[in-house]
Amino acid sequence: MNNCRVSGKPLNLINDFGDQPLGNGFIENKDINKEYFYKMRTGFCEVSKMFQLIEQPEPEQMFHDNYAFFSSTSNYMKEHFKDFHSFVSNSGYLSENPFVVEIGCNDGILIKNFKDNNTSHLGIEPSSNVARIAKELGVNILEKFFDVECSNYVRKEYGSADAILAANVICHIPNILELAKGVKNLLKPSGVMIFEEPYLGDVIKKTSYDQIYDEHVFLFSAISVQYLFNKVGMELIDLIPQKTHGGSMRYVLAHKNYYEIKSSVNEIINNEIEQGLDKLETFQKFNQNVIDSKKQLLKLLEELKLNGKKVVGYAATSKSTTILNYCGISTNLIEHIYDTTPLKIGKLTPGTHIPLRDHRYFKDDMPEYAVLFAWNHADEIIEKEQSFLNNGGKWIFFVPSVKIL
């Protein structure tokens, strides 16, 4: 696909990250000779202003009954999604007895709050292992990929929605025009779509290129989201920046001309124009920053290796797959990575095959340096692992710049 998924116009090539495995493709030693790779490159469309992957693996390859990302591993995110629930409930956009749908509800981290408040709800989640956890919490689940056909089915079986919610999933959906049509189709006339995703403005500002991996087929700006939903007769009515995932944006959309547009929409779109999120040059500069960031991280890790330091990684995020494969970091520079996810422990990192260890051994292993791959959860992790710093351990960061804490 060399054309924009939204406008159909040719894409300008921005980054080339070479061959990459699946971001969440944690693998057993016996399977490494059949590992899947694809060419990870990004493009920018000067018409839709959409920043996107040029090629992406098929959704069924990424989301299945063995999906490795469990939303509820972070306590901070659990709190965040309670606040998201309050935001929606108090938004003034819902009817008295609302029906709320969530796309990509994973283990139920957000939608369970609606269930707990006896709100009529439905979580749509194709990865059956995480969906099972949500079901066990009593959440109503439909195990499907959301698209127009799914929206027709939900409308027929459950009725139209007051609100369609989503977090960190709309940017995963390659057929995004179908998604927008499905949303338009399922919403009541007074209905709203509220979703939040990692924000392109932060990625460009912080050179957090690890947000680019197979699942993230898009990184959105308000300008590109506006262009997309205008195509189906919807418009942005509010925008609220979020701290999660290293900087996200919450988008509120409604049918055109139904609600008043909040001043945040113009303010943020003007900021984006000032930042150049609508200009090709901004992305070309970003690519140069990515190349520089790679050089600096490698320089640091190679120096530590030469000096005989013990360096490990902390948190095997899907984001880390991009960093490790693009920089060519394997056990030559990082001995192993600690993580909390049972499904990852004992496996190897995708492509670079660094062993994953249970985080409970981190303290005992006494590494001298740890690269914090989950930099978006830095506060939570640094607090939890205070003894590491107390014993002279040092954290290595690479966003917004390569540095030692």
Residues forming the site for ligand SAH (CB under 6 A): 59, 63, 67, 69, 71, 103-104, 106, 109, 124-127, 130, 145-146, 167-169, 172-173
How many other C-beta atoms can be found within 10 angstroms of the C-beta atom of residue 241? Answer: 15
| Residue among 11 and 134 whose Cβ is closer to ligand SAH | 134
94 versus 219: smaller Cβ distance to ligand TMP:
219
**Residues within window 369-398 making contact with ligand TMP, judged by CB under 6 A:** 374, 376-377, 380-381, 384
Among 12, 72, 73, 282, interactor with ligand TMP by CB under 6 A? 73
Contact of 184 with 147, CB cutoff 8 Å: no
Among 7, 42, 56, 74, binds ligand TMP (CB under 6 A): 74
Size of the site for ligand TMP (CB under 6 A): 17
Choice from 7, 224, 318, 321 touching ligand TMP (CB under 6 A): 318
Q: What is the largest CA-CA distance in the chain?
A: 65
Structure tokens at 226: 């506006």
Give the interface segment with ligand TMP, choosing from 45-53, 56-64, 276-284, 316-324 (CB under 6 A).
316-324
- Give the CA-trace dihedral at 143, 147, 148, 150, to 10 degrees: 0
CA gap 376, 243 in Å, rounded: 9
Among ligand TMP, ligand SAH, none, the one that 196 touches (CB under a kind-dependent 5 to 8 A) is none
Closest approach, Cβ 334 to ligand SAH, in A, equals 25
Calculate the alpha carbon distances from 10 to 46, 63, 161, 314 in Å.
Answer: 9, 28, 35, 39
Measured CA to CA, the distance from residue 177 to residue 308 in angstroms comes to 52
Rounded Cα distance, 225 and 43, in Å: 16
Residue closer to ligand TMP by CB (options 84, 227) is: 84
Question: Which listed option, ligand TMP, ligand SAH, none, makes contact with residue 400 (CB within 5 to 8 Å by class)?
Answer: none
Question: Smallest distance, Å, CB 59 to ligand SAH?
Answer: 6
Q: Is it true that the peptide bond before 400 is cis, omega within 30 degrees of 0? A: yes
Query: Site residues for ligand TMP, window 50-69 (CB under 6 A)?
Result: none
Nearer to ligand SAH, 169 or 192 (CB): 169
Distances (CA, A) of 41 to 36, 129, 214: 16, 30, 10
Tokens of residue 82, six digits: 């309670």
User: Helix or strand or coil: residue 173?
Assistant: coil
Rounded to the nearest whole angstrom, what is the least distance from the CB of residue 384 to ligand SAH in the complex? 19
Looking at the Cβ atoms of 46 and 55, the one nearer to ligand SAH is 55
Q: Torsion-angle region of residue 296: left (phi > 0), alpha (psi -120 to 50) or beta?
A: alpha
Least distance between ligand SAH and beta carbon 262 (Å): 23
User: If residue 371 lies in a helix (H) or strand (E), which one and from where to where?
Assistant: strand 369-372
Radius of gyration of the chain (CA): 21
**Cβ 278 to ligand TMP shortest distance, Å:** 28
Site string for ligand TMP, 323-352 (x = CB under 6 A): ----------------xxx-----------
For residue 403, what is the enclosing H or E element?
strand 403-404
Q: Is the torsion defined by CA of 34, 60, 355, 321 positive or negative?
A: positive
Considering the complex, state which of residue 42 and residue 341 has its C-beta at the smaller distance from ligand TMP: 341
**Residue closer to ligand SAH (CB basis): 217 or 269:** 217
Name the site residues for ligand TMP (rule: CB under 6 A).
73-74, 315-319, 339-341, 359, 374, 376-377, 380-381, 384
